[in-house]
Structure 1
Amino acid sequence: MILMQPNTVIQNAEPIRIGFIPLIDCAPFVIAHEKGFFLQEGVDVVLSKEASWASIRDKVTFNLLDGAHMLASMPIAASLGIGTIKTSMETSFTVSHNGNGITIGNELYKQLQRFAVSSADIRSGAALKKLIESRGKGTAPLRFAMVYPYSSHNYQLRDWLSRAGIDSDNDVQIVVVPPVKMVDSLRQGDIDGYCVGEPWNSLAVEQGVGHMLVTGFEIWGSTPEKVFGVNSTWAEQNRGSYLAVIRALEQACKWVDNPANQTELLNILSQSDYLNCTVEQLVYGFGSVKPKGQFDWPMDAYQRFSGSDINKPLPSYALWIMAQMHRWHQLDHVTSLNDLAEQVYRKDLFYEALGLAQRNQASEWRLSAKEESTWLSSVASGKIRLHPEGILKGFDRFE
C-alpha cells in the first residue's frame, strides 16, 4: 500500500476519471471532490456526469472512465458478460445501502381500493393480484418501470410481485425508465407504477401524482445499493490511486451522513454540475422531511452511507445477486460462485485501503461445496432467503 502525506499527489499519475449518475446517492463522490478529500489522499479526480447506467457500464468497459458510481449489481453482470461485453470489473467499496421504493399512480391506486379490505392488501400486492385476475383477456397489461434490467430495483419489484402471486413475466409488463423521468411518466399515464430510489417516490406523493406502497428495505432489509465500481485492469495497474480513492470516499460517506452537514450537502448537490434541482426536491431522500402521503418510510429504509459495515464490499451480496439473476432468467450457471464473488467484491482491498486488520473472510461468507452446487436453485425456489434485516445479517434457510 502506498502511504502519502495529505495533498501529496501520486507522482506521474493521470487524473482519475469517475462517472456518476445525478442521483442522491452520488453524494459521496461529489463531496469527496468538493471538500477536497480526493486531493487530501493525493489523487486528482475528474467527475463526469453521465446520462444512463448503460453509459456508465460501457465507458468503464472501454476505458473511457476508470471507475464510476455504479449499481451494486453492475460489476457482477459485466464480469459475467450478462447484457454486455464480458469485462472484468470489481468493487472494493460500497457507497450506500437502501433508498428504493415502489410507487403506483393515482388511477391504479383507485382501482385497487375496489379489491382491498384494508390498506395492507394494497401494500402487499394482494389487491393488485385480484385486479389482474379481474381484467379480461386481450386487455393491455399494467406497465411497471425500473431503472435497469440488472439492478436491485428490477429484482425487488419482481420479488414483491411474486410474493403476491403475480407472474412478473406474463401478468404485467416491466420496462426501463430513467429515474429522473419516473414521476413525469407516471403523471402522463405512460406507466402504472415503478420501483426507483429516492427522492422519486416521495416526490410523486408530494406532487399528488402517486402513492408509495412499500420500501426496498421492507422487501430485502438493508442491502447495498451503489458501489464504486472499476475496470479490474485499471485497478491492477493503479493500485495506489485505487486505494487512495477508497479512503477519500470513506471520509466522504461519514461527512454525508453527519446531520450537521446536511444544509451544505443539499446546496452542493443541487448545483447544475450535479443534480441540477432545488434543495426542496432533495430533502426527502435523507429523511429530514417527510412527504405528505400514505405512510412514513421506516428510518432504516432511507439511504445509509456509513456505519454498521455499510461500506464493506460483501461477497455475500454478490452471491445473492447472482441468485436473483438466475431466478429471473438472466443467468444459467456459474462455474465457481465463490471465486466470482471474491473476484468482484474485493473486501481484501477495502481492508488494505483503510489499514484494517484482515479477518478470516472465508468463514464470513464462502459457501460450502454442497451449498455452492445448489445455491442458485435454492434461492430461486425460496429455500434460502435473505435475512429480514438484510445482507449484514446473512441468510435464512428453509427445508
Structure 2
Amino acid sequence: MNITAPNTVSLQSQPVRVGFIPLIDCAPFVVAHEKGFFCAQGVQVELSKEASWASIRDKVAFNLLDGAHMLASLPIAASLGIGTVKTSMESSFTVSHNGNAVTVSNALYQNLVKFSNDVQDIRSGAALKRFIASKKPTDPTLRFAIVYPYSSHNYQLRDWLAQAGIDPDKDVQIIVITPAQMMSYLKQNEIDGYCVGEPWNSLAVEQGVGHILVTGYDIWGSTPEKVFGVNSLWAAQNPDVYLAMIRALNRACEWVDDKQNQSELLSLLSQPDYLNCPAEQLIYGFNTLKPKGQFDWPLEAYQRFSGADINRPLPNYALWILAQMSRWQQLAKIPSLNQVVEQVYRQELYYQALGLVCPEGGSWKITKQQEKAFLAAVASGNVRLHPDGVLKGICF
C-alpha cells in the first residue's frame, strides 16, 4: 500500500519511497506527510506500510524503499551485514527516545510475587531468578518475545536478565514476534512476557492480561529508539532531498510533542492507512496518563520526539549498540568501531540540514587499543550507560 503526498514542486523527479511500521513512533513520518511538511520542503514522499523490521531492512537494502522509520540499531546491523545482505545504510536524524518496557503474563507475575520479598525484587529480576531456579528440569522454559534480534528491545531485555544473574541464552527462550501480535500471544499463553514499545505494554495492563515490570528507561536511561534510516547510496545521490527530509521530520517531531496537537495526532494515526485502531488506544504513547497497575511509569521514561538532544544522532549510542552486538555474539568479526559509527551515524548532516554549526571533536571515540577492553567491560557489566541515559555518557 502506498500513500502519495499531494502534488508539489519537488526537488527530485521521483518520489522518495519511505517505509514505516504501524507503531506509535511512526508519528513524525505520518505527520510530515499529512500536514504537508515534506511538501513544504519541496519533497514528494510515498509512505509504504510494512509488516516487519525485516521487511523494512530488505526493501531498503534492495532499493525498493529509499529510507524508512527504523530501529536505531537497524542501519548499523545492515551496514555490517549482520543477519542480512551487507548494505551501507545511515541515519542523520533520530525520531524518538524511550517508550519500551518489559511486560509479563498474569500467571508469571503471580509466581514472581511468591518469590519476592518486596516490589524491588520483582522489578530487578531477583524474583524471576528465584522462580527459574525453583523450576524442575521437565518444566517448560519461560519464553520472552522481542520485535527484532538487532533491537534495543532485545538488548535491554538481555541486559535486565543478565543483571539479575539470568542467562538469556540458557535460562529462558527469546523469540521474535511482531509488536501487534504480542498481546494475543500473551493471552494465549504462547509467551510469558515481552519487551516492546508502547502502547502494547499499557494495553496489556488496561485489558488485564499482563503486568509491566520495568521500563527501558529503568534499564538504560534515556536512549534513542527510532531513526530515519536510508540507503547510503540513495543519500549520496540525493543530498539536497535528504537534507530537506531531515528538516521536514524535525518540524514534524516538534508538532508531535506539542500537546495542543494531540487530538488531531491521535485521529491521524488511528486511520486505516496507518495504525488502524481506535484513537483512545493510542493515547498511552503520547500522554502521561497510563492505566492503573502495580507499576507507575517514571516521568523520564515517556516517549519524546523533539529537541536537539533527542533528534541529533548520538555516536556514543552507536558505540554502545556495537558493544551489545559483540556481547551477545552477533558480530562474527569485530570491525573498527569508530569507523562504523562515523559511517552510519552521520551527525554532521543533521547540523547541515538545520543550518547549525556542527561541534568539533570526538570525545566518544576509543582507540583501537582500547576496543577489546571496552567490549569485554561492557560484556561483564563493568561499563554501563549513565543511569539518566546516553546523553550523560558511558560510565566505566
Q: TM-score, normalised by structure 1?
A: 0.96
The answer to whether 1:188 aligns with 2:188 is: yes
Correspondence for 1:140:
140
Distance 1:26 1:349 in 2: 21
Report the CA distance shift for 1:11/1:214 in structure 2 as closer, same or farther (over 3 A): closer
Letter in 2 for 1:374: A
The answer to whether 1:176 aligns with 2:189 is: no
Offset, 1:262? 0.5
Correspondence for 1:4:
none
Offset, 1:383? 2.6
Distance 2:8 2:265 in 1: 26
Correspondence for 1:325:
325
Distance 2:129 2:237 in 1: 52
Over the matched positions of the two proteins, sequence identity in percent amounts to 68
Alignment of 1:132-281 (within 5 A): 132-281=132-281
Secondary structure of 1:296's match?
coil
Could you report, residue by residue, the CA deviation over 1:137-181 in whole angstroms, capped at 9, with x for unpaired residues?
A: 122100110100000000000111111100100000111111011
Distance 2:199 2:33 in 1: 23
Correspondence for 2:383:
384
Report the CA distance shift for 1:373/1:136 in structure 2 as closer, same or farther (over 3 A): closer
Secondary structure of 2:32's match?
helix
- Contact 1:338–1:372 (CA<8 Å) still a contact in 2? no
Could you report, residue by residue, the CA deviation over 1:179-218 in whole angstroms, capped at 9, with x for unpaired residues?
A: 0111111011000000000000000000000100000000
Correspondence for 1:55:
55
Letter in 2 for 1:386: L
Distance 2:241 2:308 in 1: 26
Correspondence for 1:370:
369
Distance 1:46 1:323 in 2: 35
Correspondence for 2:4:
none
Distance 2:246 2:308 in 1: 17
Alignment of 1:44-123 (within 5 A): 44-123=44-123
- Contact 1:122–1:213 (CA<8 Å) still a contact in 2? yes
Distance 1:32 1:39 in 2: 8
Distance 2:304 2:245 in 1: 19
Correspondence for 2:3:
none
Distance 1:216 1:149 in 2: 16
Correspondence for 1:351:
351
Equivalent residues, number: 390
Gaps of 5+ in 1: 1-6
Correspondence for 2:36:
36
Secondary structure of 2:267's match?
helix
Deviation above 4 Å: which 4+ runs of structure 1? none
Letter in 2 for 1:354: L
Q: TM-score, normalised by structure 2?
A: 0.96
Offset, 1:111? 1.2
Letter in 2 for 1:152: S
Distance 2:237 2:308 in 1: 31
- Contact 2:288–2:299 (CA<8 Å) still a contact in 1? no
Secondary structure of 1:82's match?
coil
